[in-house]
């Protein structure tokens, strides 16, 4: 099994989705506890989503397999 297909890939763009899920959960959890304001939550989740999209859009090559992302 190739490392790109498993869970051992070290490419930063493969870690964007799991990091996004953790940040979303933390954002909404802290909002529900009242640690951060509802306004902060309503502004931060679109920013997190936009950063993840930009990260995916501008990562041109996968270093685990060397194949340009456009050819996948």
Polymer length in residues for the chain: 72
Highest mean pLDDT among 1-10, 27-36, 47-56: 27-36
CB-side exposure of 69: number of CA atoms within 13 Å? 12
For 38-62, how does the pLDDT look when each residue is reduced to its tens digit (9 = 90+)?
Answer: 899 899 888 888 887 787 777 666 6
Q: Which residue has the higher pLDDT, 51 or 68?
A: 51
Integer Rg of the chain from CA: 16
Q: Which two tokens stand for residue 68?
A: 């340009």
47: Cβ contacts below 8 Å, ≥ 6 apart: none
* Domains of the chain, residue spans: 12-71
Cα(27)–Cα(71) distance, integer angstroms: 35
What does DSSP assign to residue 7?
A: S
pLDDT computed for residue 33 by the predictor: 93
The stretch 1-17 carries a mean pLDDT of 61
pLDDT computed for residue 52 by the predictor: 78
Distance, C-alpha 38 to centroid of its chain: 22
């Amino acid at each position: 099994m190739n490392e790109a297909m498993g869970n051992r890939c070290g490419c930063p763009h493969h870690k964007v989705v799991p990091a996004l899920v953790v940040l979303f959960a933390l954002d909404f959890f802290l909002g529900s506890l009242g640690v951060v304001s509802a306004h902060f939550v309503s502004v931060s989740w679109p920013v997190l989503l936009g950063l993840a999209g930009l990260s995916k859009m501008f990562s041109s090559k996968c270093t685990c397999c060397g194949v340009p992302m456009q050819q996948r």
